[in-house]
């Protein structure tokens, strides 16, 4: 079973929720697909046992074969390959490795080379669960390939918690694709609510059942409750704003380990999800 944890923007407590949830469910694996800024490993502190590189292809043109017909450039919707006067310009970082330009090239002038765009780290956490996280190399534009590869490394029988990238970008869609349930984490502030609406639309579009976890509850106003009520969105849990939680977070600790009364919140979230699937 796969459960994605999402948020409208960064810093709403998505990692807190996904990590605390993961350590309170037996036999889980947590994957952090926020490849631009993975931070679950800061809390879960895994011993990394394996590092895999993620590669992506890009075209290389043999100018002895190329007749500058222009077909590759017309095909590429990312403008990653542009036939010019005496050469064909290739922008490696823009290439999505779709393979199309080689297919349309009439002279077989195009072959693909591979380059590394990021890495996947796998290890055992000190909480007795496994985790994997992807990290994109600096300067790379799209982490979608890394996210897809992290997900491919997951076995079917595992219970997987997916810490997803914030917002509704391509990378978020890639992280959420194919999950059984999504947990949307939001703060009860006006900004939190407006960012969250976009995610709600995305999840509905993708036909993924979801529920809401309100972090730092009671800190803001009631808009989030009204919104959830009007939209028929179930509130799975509320995590209160609490100095002790904040302090543990700042120290890179997971609060449900230290504050046993919160353990129940996460066990509850999980049993509510199970009852719906």
Partner 1 sequence: MKIAVSAKEVGLNGKIDDRFGRAEYYVIFDTETKEVKTVENSAKNESAGAGGKAVKVLGDENVNIILAPEVGPKAITALKAFEIEAYLYAGMGLNTVEDAINAFNEGKLIKANNATVEEHSGLRKA
Which stretches of the chain bind ligand SF4, using CB under 6 A?
59, 61, 66-72, 75-76, 78, 80-81, 83, 88, 95-101, 105-107, 109-110
Which residue's CB is nearer to ligand SF4, number 90 or number 182?
Answer: 90
State the minimum distance, in angstroms, from the CB of residue 68 to partner 1: 11
* Residue 243 interface partner, choices partner 1, ligand SF4, none, CB cut-off 5-8 Å depending on type: none
Which residue's CB is nearer to ligand SF4, number 100 or number 123?
Answer: 100
State the minimum distance, in angstroms, from the CB of residue 111 to ligand SF4: 10
Which residue's CB is nearer to ligand SF4, number 72 or number 217?
Answer: 72
Sign of CA dihedral 237, 239, 228, 199: negative
State the minimum distance, in angstroms, from the CB of residue 70 to partner 1: 9
* Residue 72 interface partner, choices ligand SF4, partner 1, none, CB cut-off 5-8 Å depending on type: ligand SF4
- CA angle (164, 215, 12) in 5-degree steps: 45
* Residue 82 interface partner, choices partner 1, ligand SF4, none, CB cut-off 5-8 Å depending on type: partner 1
Residues 95/58, Cβ–Cβ less than 8 Å: yes
How far is the C-alpha of 96 from the C-alpha of 94, rounded, in Å? 6
Q: Which of 195, 137, 193 is nearest to 169 (CA)?
A: 195
* Residue 87 interface partner, choices ligand SF4, partner 1, none, CB cut-off 5-8 Å depending on type: partner 1
Which residue's CB is nearer to partner 1, number 87 or number 229?
Answer: 87
Which residue's CB is nearer to ligand SF4, number 42 or number 63?
Answer: 63
What does DSSP say about strands 47-61 and 110-124: parallel, antiparallel, or unpaired?
A: antiparallel
Element (H, E) at 145: helix 144-152
State the minimum distance, in angstroms, from the CB of residue 19 to partner 1: 30
How far is the C-alpha of 166 from the C-alpha of 9, rounded, in Å? 5
What does DSSP say about strands 130-136 and 28-32: parallel, antiparallel, or unpaired?
A: parallel
State the minimum distance, in angstroms, from the CB of residue 87 to partner 1: 5
* Residue 89 interface partner, choices ligand SF4, partner 1, none, CB cut-off 5-8 Å depending on type: partner 1
Q: Point out which residues bind partner 1 (CB under 8 A).
A: 73, 77-80, 82, 84-89, 91, 94
Q: What is the largest CA-CA distance in the chain?
A: 71
- CA angle (95, 96, 97) in 5-degree steps: 90
Residue 42 burial by Cβ neighbours in a 10 Å radius (0-12, 13-18, 19+): exposed
Give the residue carrying structure tokens 């309170």: 24
* Residue 100 interface partner, choices ligand SF4, partner 1, none, CB cut-off 5-8 Å depending on type: ligand SF4
């Amino acid at each position: 079973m796969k459960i994605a944890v999402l948020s409208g923007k960064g810093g709403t407590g998505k990692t807190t929720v996904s990590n605390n949830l993961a350590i309170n469910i037996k036999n889980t694996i947590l994957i952090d697909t926020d490849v631009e800024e993975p931070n679950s490993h800061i809390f879960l502190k895994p011993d990394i046992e394996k590092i895999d590189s993620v590669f992506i292809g890009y075209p290389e043109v043999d100018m002895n074969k190329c007749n500058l017909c222009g077909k590759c450039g017309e095909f590429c919707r990312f403008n990653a390959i542009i036939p010019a006067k005496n050469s064909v310009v290739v922008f490696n970082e823009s290439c999505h490795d779709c393979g199309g330009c080689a297919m349309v090239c009439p002279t077989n002038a195009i072959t693909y080379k591979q380059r590394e765009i990021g890495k996947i780290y796998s290890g055992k956490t000190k909480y007795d669960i496994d985790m994997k996280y992807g990290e994109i190399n600096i300067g790379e534009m799209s982490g979608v390939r890394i996210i897809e590869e992290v997900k491919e490394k997951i076995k079917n029988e595992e219970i997987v918690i997916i810490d997803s990238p914030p917002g509704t970008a391509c990378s978020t869609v890639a992280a959420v694709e194919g999950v059984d349930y999504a947990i949307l984490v939001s703060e009860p502030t006006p900004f939190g609510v407006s960012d969250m609406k976009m995610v709600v639309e995305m999840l509905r579009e993708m036909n993924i059942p979801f529920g809401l976890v309100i972090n730092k509850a009671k800190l803001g106003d009631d808009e989030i409750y009204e919104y959830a009520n009007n939209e028929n969105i179930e509130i799975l849990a509320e995590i209160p704003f609490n100095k002790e939680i904040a302090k543990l977070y700042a120290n890179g600790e997971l609060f449900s380990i230290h504050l046993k009364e919160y353990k129940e919140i996460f066990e509850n979230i999980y049993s509510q999800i199970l009852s719906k699937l």
